[in-house]
Amino acid sequence: MCSLGVNQQGFILREVSRDKIPESLTWPIFEITDVLLNCLGDDIHSLYLYGSTVSGKFVTNQSDLDILLIYQELSEKRVLGQGPQLAKSLSQTFKKVFTDVDISGTSLTEAVAPKNLYGWGCFLKILCVNIYGPDLVQQFPNFQPDTRVAQGFNGDIGVFVRQRLKQLEALEAEPEQKIQKICKSSMKKLIRTSFSLVMPKERCWVTELEDCVQIFLKYYPEQQPHVSSIFELVKNPSGNKAEVIELIDHFGHWLVNEFNQKINGGESNIAVQ
């Protein structure tokens, strides 16, 4: 057991803030927010940043800009229809600043639904900084790093593995760059899910991938070869479709089975404050 990322009461520390956004990003973020508001307007309830931009770890042209868009209930089709194209356009416009501009989204109803307290609720509470609209963060309780949070963040691992394999297998003459992007995001998901598998035992919270790997391997040292390969592919993503499929298929299915046994079938011990 460790005490990383939690306070004396065992609740996860919020380590993101507006103060950690580099001054050099003030104007790019303003322009990107303006584009989103001009395109989607009243469809948007609120906007949040998460990731390196608000954690003090941003590196120009080496880090993504991660945006969470909370949209009004009746706006789902418009937002989800325009979101990918907006992200692509903004990534191109700001390619000298960000490696990618990533836009994810959910409806206001889903974000505040009791069933999603340990998913969207915890995600907003721990990892997000509001930059536009009503701030939902304060309405959520504090969380401990236990099975409910593991389920909320990564309980979808089975669906993720199936969908990602299907997506890769359907690719034919796609550019290597597209496969590399899929590879990188997939490997990150596998590492973070691996950590969440042992998080309830460690009672700690980490977001750095290297820390996730080290803590996971304390419990599963036999997975060292696979996890080392996965970690390497985060740093140097492969454009080889067969290589990516093989790793997701092999380690991913092992992880799904282990997660279902230890977390989805495990005992809940969530504590809120």
Phi-psi region of 133 (alpha: psi -120 to 50; beta: other; left: phi over 0): left
- Is the pLDDT reported for residue 243 higher than 60? yes
| Higher pLDDT among residues 98 and 77, named by residue | 98
Report pTM: 0.90
- Is the pLDDT reported for residue 223 higher than 70? yes
Residue 77's pLDDT is 78
- Is the pLDDT reported for residue 55 higher than 80? yes
Mean pLDDT of the chain: 92
Candidates 109, 128, 123; CA nearest to 47 is 128
Query: What confidence tens digit (pLDDT) does each residue in 144-154 have?
Result: 999 999 999 99
Look up residue 222 and give its DSSP letter.
G
Q: Could you tell me the sign of the dihedral formed by the alpha carbons of 207, 167, 81, 154, in that order? A: negative
Q: Is residue 79 within 8 Å of residue 51, measured between CB atoms?
A: no
Query: What confidence tens digit (pLDDT) does each residue in 66-75 have?
Result: 999 999 877 7
Residue 2's pLDDT is 61
Distances (CA, A) of 205 to 60, 93, 129, 150, 172: 26, 35, 18, 11, 39
Q: pLDDT band at residue 1, thresholds of 50, 70 and 90?
A: low
- Is the pLDDT reported for residue 160 higher than 80? yes
